[in-house]
């Protein structure tokens, strides 16, 4: 094929393709628009349903470490809060394996655990009699 025939064939093919796309668009434009709108509404509905089905976030105080205000003694990890008839508002603190209630007025919360270091034991002094026994053996 020569150059002119190739160009004419490509032009005719392009015109036919454009005509076919226009015919398809003419018949399916309204349906296409509705399909796109339905997809957008479905995506928005799915996002809303997923958002509503998520569990509520944990309160900020859950997981913090509780300490007594008077002496700074470590109590445990806060699991919740409640209202007690005798104590008023209380923190529910897990101490070891059990949950206990402590009045909010007596407890302070911290993000990190801060244990008090134990005092180092005093150096032991050996009695003088041990030193004398070693000298006698040598």
- Residue-wise pLDDT for 65-107, tens only, equals 999 998 888 889 999 999 999 989 999 999 888 899 999 999 9
Instruction: Determine, yes or no, domain membership for 117.
Output: no
The answer to whether residue 42 sits within a structural domain is yes
Q: 3-class SS at 108?
A: strand
SS3 77: strand
> What's the rounded Cα separation, in Å, for the pair 27 and 40?
22
Q: Are residues 98 and 79 in the same domain?
A: yes
Specify whether 41 is located in the same domain as 74.
Answer: no
Whether residues 50 and 69 fall in one domain: no
Look at residue 128 and tell me if it is in a domain: no
pLDDT above 80: residue 133: no
Do 31 and 4 share a domain, yes or no?
yes
98 found inside a domain: yes
Q: How far apart are CA 106 and CA 90, in angstroms?
A: 9
Angle, alpha carbons 135-137-138 (nearest 5°): 65
pLDDT tens for 83-93 read 999 989 999 99
CA distance 77 to 93: 5
Kind of pairing between the strands at 74-84 and 65-68: antiparallel
| pLDDT in the model for residue 118 | 67
Total domain count, the chain: 2
Q: Does residue 17 carry a pLDDT above 90?
A: yes
7 & 48 share domain: yes
| CB atoms closer than 10 angstroms to residue 88 | 10
Are 10 and 39 part of one and the same domain? Answer: yes
Burial class (CB within 10 angstroms; exposed 0-12, middle 13-18, buried 19+) of 134: exposed
| 5 within domain boundaries | yes
On whether the pTM is more than 0.75, the answer is no
In a domain, 119, yes or no: no
pLDDT of residue 32: 81
Please report the pLDDT score of residue 30 as a whole number. 76
Residue 103 sits at φ, ψ, to 5 deg, of -60, 140
Length of the chain as a residue count: 138
Q: What is the mean pLDDT of residues 37-59?
A: 93
Range of the domain at 37: 1-54
């Amino acid at each position: 094929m020569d150059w002119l025939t190739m160009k004419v064939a490509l032009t005719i093919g392009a015109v036919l393709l454009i005509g076919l796309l226009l015919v398809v668009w003419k018949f399916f434009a309204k349906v296409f628009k509705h399909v796109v709108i339905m997809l957008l509404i479905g995506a928005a509905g799915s996002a809303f349903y997923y958002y509503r089905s998520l569990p509520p976030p944990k309160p900020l105080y859950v997981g913090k470490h509780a300490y007594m205000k008077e002496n700074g003694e470590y109590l445990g990890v806060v699991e919740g809060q409640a209202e007690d008839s005798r104590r008023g508002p209380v923190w529910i603190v897990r101490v070891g394996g059990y949950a206990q209630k402590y009045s909010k007025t007596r407890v302070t919360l911290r993000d990190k655990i801060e244990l008090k270091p134990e005092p180092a034991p005093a150096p032991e002094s050996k009695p003088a009699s041990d030193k004398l026994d070693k000298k006698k053996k040598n």
